[in-house]
Amino acid sequence: MASTAFVVAAFATLLGLLYANVLPDLVYDWWDDPNYSHGFLVPLFSAYLVYQRRASILATEFRPSWWGLAPILIGIVSLVLGQVGAEAFVSRASLIIILAGLTWFHAGWPMLRAMMFPLAFLLFMIPLPAVLFYAVAFPLQGLAAQNAAWILDHMGVPVLIDGNVIHLSHISLGVTEACSGIRSLISLLALALAWAALALPGTVTMAIFAIVTIPITIVANAGRVVVTGLIGQWFGRQYAEGFFHMASGWIIFVFAFMCLVVVDRGLRFVMARKRSRP
């Protein structure tokens, strides 16, 4: 046990030295970028998952394998390339690859398989590359504007849409990147997978929870734009851009959370019905 603790401490120190320039910038992004403020919670949740599953993990047979050197080398090369090419995502993601390789090398494939989800979940703490982030955010912006305009039109509110800008009679709303729903989508997806891992483990339930986050986010964000437009139309721009605009992000997240509760109850009902069948 003492030798194992020494090895873990030695590798933790080595990784700390390797990522001395990477991890502080990552933590700064969590603090500075509201899209990734959940990053502080991600490693804590992964650690909790390992603790929760400690009995099955400790019961897993140790089969050290030289195959683990492959992902370790890939991780080191990714770290170097990310640093040289100034690609933060590559250098940060390399840490997860190295951790997976160390697990495989020292404890074997069965142990890596047992640790796979906690390690993979760490990806949520790493900000997406800008190219991928905006590739998702831009379509969500357009979708939010179109859906909100459609709802307002069916509510009898005169509306004209011009790209991502919604023109009402008394106010014009620009659906910016911050209003695209990308922040809600990332946070909700992390929450959904964490929820499934704790309450409804299984590949199928995790897949369902991951998939439903997309329509939930789209509907919730369209509702946010609609309500913002109605407040601006009825009471004035200062109310639409004031407290409500700041609080609306939390409001739609609460709505999305309640939708996940409904999905959870539906899955439990279906599973209970299956178990009750002869």
User: Which distant-in-sequence residues (6+ apart) come within 8 Å of 129 by Cβ?
Assistant: 87, 89
Is 21 found in the same domain as 8? Answer: yes
* 39/77 same-domain check: yes
Co-location of 135 and 266 in the same domain: yes
* 80 & 66 share domain: yes
- Report pLDDT digits (tens) over 185-237: 788 888 888 888 888 767 787 888 888 888 888 888 888 777 777 777 776 66
Same domain assignment for residues 101 and 17: yes
Domain boundary among 101, 127, 153: 127
pLDDT for residue 2: 47
Classify each residue of 38-74 as buried b or exposed e, where b means 16 or more C-beta atoms within 10 Å of its C-beta: bbebbeebbeebeeebeeebeebeeeebeebeebbee
249: containing domain: 131-276
Q: How far is the C-alpha of 232 from the C-alpha of 254, rounded, in Å?
A: 22
Q: Do 168 and 190 lie in a common domain?
A: yes
Tokens describing residue 248: 């609306």
Lowest mean pLDDT among 65-74, 84-93, 111-120, 168-177: 168-177
pLDDT, residue 250, reads: 74
Each residue's pLDDT tens digit, 78-120: 988 988 887 889 999 999 999 999 999 988 899 999 899 999 9
Residues 136, 121 share a domain: no
Q: Is the pLDDT of residue 276 over 80?
A: no
Q: Which of 66, 96, 127 is the last residue of a domain?
A: 127
Contact 47, 119 (CB under 8 A): no
Residues 123 and 136 grouped into a single domain: no
Listed residues 104, 127, 150: the one ending a domain: 127
Number of domains in the chain: 2
Q: Starting from the edge strand earliest in sequence, which strands make up the sheet with 172-174, in order?
A: 160-162, 165-167, 172-174
